[in-house]
């Protein structure tokens, strides 16, 4: 057992089998921090624990199973004494026009992307509150700040993460706990490849909107501009900052799109300001 007197931070990261989660786990360990690395199939992360035996614990975890969440957090606290940083990274994408969406697929994605994140957060917060110290890092997406054809249901899961994280930050800030939403643009992970789910019955009516964007996303799998290792370093830098950001967009592509969305939204608000204000009772 690693000594609980060790002052190096303890990270708990979900979804470490591939992509950003695995890159983050590797970089956290290389920085000399301690880490609990999780995956539904624990054998996919056992090599990390073997390479960093004193500072890494590999744990099986499906974030949609409450008993596994409780067991994983208990093992983390038994091994390291605490959790300083929770990274809710587990998640995946499902692309379908709103009318094409399958209810079971949509609900399953919400269970992982949103409700699993909520359950993990609620399991870890009591310990952080008791110590008045901690950081919740929720991996959202640029798709949590703007919507696009075929991504409506995925956008909905990530918009939910954004709202939850913003509210959470205001609740736990006075308790010494930070909360940050991470918004990656396209990164070279399995998100748009092996891990991606798509509409089973696409409709010709949406071929030029949802269908075209679905094909575009799948076509650039493996050629995305974002580097998961550099993204991992950026997340570590944000967590180690004296005043961590509430939001961290990652990658030029994402940054440009988020800025365009915000600029367009502000322009529309200004254009319709008179109508907006007309909805109030007249002032006496």
Within the chain, residue ranges assigned H as helices are: 19-30, 46-51, 66-80, 103-110, 116-131, 152-172, 212-219, 228-240, 252-271, 273-277
Which of these is catalytic: 140, 141, 150, 192?
140
Pairing of strands 247-250, 56-60: unpaired
**Quick one: CA dihedral 179, 185, 190, 195, positive or negative?**
positive
* Catalytic residue from among 92, 158, 192, 206: 158
- The distance of Cα 103 from the centroid of its chain, to the nearest Å, equals 22
Question: Which of 92, 154, 192, 206 does the annotation list as catalytic?
Answer: 154
| 140 has catalytic annotation | yes
154 catalytic residue (yes or no): yes
Distance CA 167, CA 159 (A): 13
| 219 flagged as catalytic | no
Which residues neighbour 114 within 8 Å (Cβ) at sequence distance 6 or greater?
157, 160, 161, 164
The alpha-helical segments, DSSP class H, found in 42-189 are 46-51, 66-80, 103-110, 116-131, 152-172
**Tokens representing residue 146 in the block:** 């703007």
Provide the CA 139 distance to its chain's centre, in angstroms: 2
Q: Name the residues annotated as catalytic.
A: 140, 154, 158
């Amino acid at each position: 057992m690693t000594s609980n007197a060790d002052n190096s931070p303890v990270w708990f990261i979900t979804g470490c089998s591939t992509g950003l989660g695995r890159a983050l786990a590797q970089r956290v360990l290389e920085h000399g921090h301690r880490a609990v690395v999780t995956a539904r199939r624990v054998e996919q992360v056992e090599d990390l624990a073997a390479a960093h035996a004193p500072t890494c614990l590999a744990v099986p975890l499906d974030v949609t199973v409450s008993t596994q969440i409780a067991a994983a957090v208990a093992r983390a606290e038994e091994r390291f004494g605490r959790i300083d940083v929770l990274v809710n990274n587990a998640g995946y994408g499902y692309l379908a026009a709103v009318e094409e969406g399958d209810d079971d697929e949509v609900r399953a994605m919400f269970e992982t992307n949103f409700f699993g994140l909520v359950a993990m957060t609620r399991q870890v917060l009591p310990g952080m509150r008791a110590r008045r110290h901690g950081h919740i890092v929720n991996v959202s997406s640029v798709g949590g700040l703007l919507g696009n054809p075929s991504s409506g249901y995925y956008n909905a899961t990530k918009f939910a993460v954004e709202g939850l994280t913003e509210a959470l930050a205001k609740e736990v800030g006075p308790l010494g706990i930070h909360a940050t939403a991470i918004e990656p643009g396209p990164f070279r992970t399995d998100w748009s490849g092996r891990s991606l789910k798509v509409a089973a019955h696409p409709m010709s009516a949406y071929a030029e909107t949802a269908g075209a964007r679905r094909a575009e996303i799948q076509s650039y799998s493996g050629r995305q501009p974002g580097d998961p290792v550099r993204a991992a370093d950026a997340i570590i830098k944000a967590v180690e900052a004296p005043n961590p950001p509430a939001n961290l967009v990652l990658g030029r592509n994402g940054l440009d799109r988020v800025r365009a969305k915000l600029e367009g939204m502000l322009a529309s608000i200004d254009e319709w300001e008179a109508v907006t204000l007309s909805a109030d009772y007249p002032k006496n």
